[in-house]
């Protein structure tokens, strides 16, 4: 199921990236009635004193445990991949964001939340605002941290696992509904 097919449910879309190999932008759609339960699952994975989950900081056994827990969530995941045909990482991100906004419009989604990277907030806003106006979108969008929004760990985990390769990539592929090559 891809991002557009959830339109009757007006999901919230949580987004993170990986720059390890190809540029990956991962969007996880969670419908409003599932958000509280999904947050509870994610918070249950946190160790005492841990403010958020970030796969690169976890042990391999914890990484596997996190991926297993995410398999139980009702999230629809789309992976946008931009390769070397684009000169810079910023161009890759922009083309992925433009496609994401188109898919959000098609899916009539209510909210977009991107993992905060202060170096990208300004350019993200410019791209999203332009596409928002061009397409006549009505969804809200913002940037936040995984410490503030636990569900940002879903795209983080999938992006990390997909780019990691091997068994982790196979697990990410099982979680992913669609890969969009740009």
- CB 162, CB 79: distance < 8 Å: yes
- CB 141, CB 112: distance < 8 Å: yes
**Residue 52: what are its φ and ψ, rounded to 5°?**
-170, 165
pTM across the whole model: 0.92
- CB 7, CB 1: distance < 8 Å: no
Domains present along the chain, CATH in parentheses: 3-181 (3.30.420.10)
Taking residue 145's Cβ as centre, other Cβ atoms within 10 Å add up to: 13
Q: How far apart are CA 160 and CA 103, in angstroms?
A: 22
Chain centre to alpha carbon of residue 45: 18
To which residue do tokens 């999901």 refer? 11
Q: How far apart are CA 60 and CA 168, in angstroms?
A: 10
In the numeric block, which tokens belong to residue 2? 């891809």
Strand, helix or coil at 153?
helix
pLDDT digits (tens, 9 = 90+) for 117-140: 999 999 999 999 999 999 999 999
Digit-by-digit pLDDT tens for the chain (182 residues) are 355 444 445 899 999 999 987 899 999 999 999 999 999 999 999 999 898 888 989 999 999 999 999 999 989 999 999 988 999 999 999 999 999 999 999 999 999 999 999 999 999 999 999 999 999 999 999 999 999 999 999 999 999 999 999 999 999 999 999 999 99
Residue 21 is classified by DSSP as S
For the CA atoms of 178, 23, 58, 120, the dihedral, rounded to the nearest 10 degrees, stands at: -110
Q: How far apart are CA 101 and CA 98, in angstroms?
A: 5
């Amino acid at each position: 199921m891809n991002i557009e097919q959830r339109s009757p449910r007006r999901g919230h879309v949580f987004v993170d990236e990986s720059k390890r190999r190809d540029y990956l932008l991962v969007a996880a759609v969670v419908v409003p009635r599932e958000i509280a339960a999904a947050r509870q699952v994610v918070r249950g994975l946190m160790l005492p004193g841990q403010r958020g989950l970030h796969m690169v900081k976890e042990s391999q056994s914890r990484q596997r445990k996190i991926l297993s827990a995410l398999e139980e969530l009702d999230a629809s995941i789309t992976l946008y991949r931009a390769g070397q045909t684009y000169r810079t990482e910023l161009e890759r991100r922009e083309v992925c964001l433009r496609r994401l906004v188109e898919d959000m419009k098609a899916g009539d989604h209510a909210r977009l939340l991107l993992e905060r990277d202060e170096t990208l907030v300004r350019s993200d806003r410019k791209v999203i605002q332009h596409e928002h106006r061009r397409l006549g979108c009505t969804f809200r969008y913002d940037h936040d941290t995984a410490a503030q929004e636990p569900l940002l760990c879903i795209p983080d985990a999938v992006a990390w696992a997909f780019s990691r390769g091997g068994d982790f990539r196979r697990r990410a592929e099982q979680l992913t509904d669609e890969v969009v090559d740009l």
